[in-house]
């Protein structure tokens, strides 16, 4: 049984703020880009100039 892609997108939410926009799913993060910016250093990501 094939899943509908639109149904999958409706169910994706940010773990922190619960928004459905701009979700980062890589590495199973499931956070939006705005929340990722806040928690990136805690997760071990580094910002380079």
How many domains in the chain? 1
Instruction: Name all contacts of 41-48 with Cβ < 8 Å and 24+ positions apart.
Output: none
CA distance 22 to 9: 11
Cα 14 vs. chain centroid, distance in angstroms? 5
pLDDT tens digits, 14-49 = 999 999 999 999 999 999 999 999 999 999 999 887
Report pLDDT for 19. Answer: 93
Report pLDDT for 49. Answer: 72
Report pLDDT for 1. Answer: 56
**25 assigned to some structural domain:** yes
CATH number reported for the structural domain that contains residue 35 in this entry: 4.10.830.10
CB 30 within 8 A of CB 12: yes
CB 35 within 8 A of CB 43: no
Domain of 34? 5-43
**49 assigned to some structural domain:** no
Phi, psi of 3 (to 5 degrees): -80, 150
**39 assigned to some structural domain:** yes
Report pLDDT for 7. Answer: 72
């Amino acid at each position: 049984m094939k899943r509908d892609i639109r149904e999958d997108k409706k169910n994706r939410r940010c773990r922190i703020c619960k928004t459905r926009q701009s979700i980062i799913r890589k590495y199973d993060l499931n956070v939006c880009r705005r929340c990722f910016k806040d928690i990136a250093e805690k997760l071990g990501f580094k910002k380079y100039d």
